[in-house]
Amino acid sequence: MESDIILYCSILFLLIAFLYASVGHAGASGYLAVMAFLSFPVESIKPISLTLNIIVSLIASYKFIKAGYFDQKVFTLFAITSIPFAFIGGYLNLDPYWFKKLAGIFLVASGALLLIRQFVKPADKKREINPLAALPIGAIIGLTSGLLGVGGGIFLSPLIIMFGYSSLRNASGVAALFILCNSLLGLTGNYMAFSNLPYEIIFFIPAVVVGGYAGSHLGSGKFNNQVIISFLFVVLISAGLKFIFIG
């Protein structure tokens, strides 16, 4: 990969990590969008995305949980099935054609869910979570996470906010740790199957460390980035459509 592309990606990944970490996410959909636009090789997309996800979600988990924004019961009920299925998804290898199509659908859905995550009003009263619903949903999110190289938090957090299982900021802490666990197991499964870690990762990690720390630090405080996140909607939709219709 050319040095100017590496520099360009590093800057974009730093910005993505900052924006996503501010709401307890790790940025996988953003990383996928960048790699879609720049036509990264399909075999390198999953390990790069999962590795960067682990770095940012580790920082975000620490910052949000330390600030007291976490719900152990909500996390456990979704993660108990999501984690093993993330490993299975990471181990499996999709045909490049289908990977691009599914990743495109994921990016389009992520764009919509990111807006929902930012603008949805939490339920007036916290509701008890239903394990019979949480366990299969966790499994589906985990499998999807492993297959595509994401953490699944972008699906989880709007869900638990809309159904009143968690407050807005507690959802950020739950999502951050959920992403960390799914990404760790997804990357483990992927590496066991393919032993592939692209060398470019070493250049991207410092960028997402800076962005992830700054974003999670502000997000666990009083930072409000609704307007900026809204612009990401256009990026995710555009990248998703590129994967679906162009490849």
Rg (CA), the chain: 16
d(CA 20, CA 155): 13
CB 81 within 8 A of CB 227: no
Checking if the pLDDT of 75 tops 70, the result is yes
Cβ count within 10 A of residue 194: 14
d(CA 58, CA 113): 22
Ordered by start, the domain boundaries in the chain are: 3-245
Q: Which of 1-5, 41-45, 52-56, 108-112 has the lowest mean pLDDT?
A: 1-5
**Percentage of the chain surpassing pLDDT 90?**
49
Spatial CA neighbour of 235 closest among 108, 121, 122 = 108
Average pLDDT of the chain? 87
- pLDDT on residue 227: 56
Checking if the pLDDT of 140 tops 60, the result is yes
Phi-psi category of residue 190: left, alpha or beta, with phi > 0 → left and psi -120 to 50 → alpha: alpha
- pLDDT on residue 120: 64
- pLDDT on residue 187: 95
What are the tens digits of pLDDT across the range 106-115?
Answer: 989 888 877 7
Identity of the residue numbered 219:
G
Q: Which of 27-36, 84-93, 202-211 has the lowest mean pLDDT?
A: 27-36
By the 10 Å C-beta count (0-12 exposed, 13-18 middle, 19+ buried), 115 is classed as middle
What are the tens digits of pLDDT across the range 147-202?
Answer: 999 999 888 988 898 888 988 789 889 999 999 999 999 999 999 988 878 888 99
* Tokens 């507690």, located at residue: 170
d(CA 240, CA 121): 26
- pLDDT on residue 53: 94
- pLDDT on residue 221: 61
Residue 220, C-beta contacts closer than 8 angstroms, at least 6 positions apart? 63, 64, 66, 67, 69, 169, 172
Residue 151, C-beta contacts closer than 8 angstroms, at least 6 positions apart? 25, 26, 28, 53, 57, 145, 178, 179, 180, 182, 183, 186
Could you tell me the pLDDT band of residue 123, with boundaries at 50, 70 and 90?
low
d(CA 175, CA 112): 17
d(CA 116, CA 183): 23
* Tokens 């720049």, located at residue: 38
What are the tens digits of pLDDT across the range 7-20?
Answer: 999 999 999 998 88
Q: By 3-state DSSP, what share of the chain in percent is helix, strand and coil, each rounded to 5?
A: 80, 0, 20
Provide mean pLDDT across the span 79-93: 95
CA 82 to chain centre: 14
Checking if the pLDDT of 55 tops 70, the result is yes
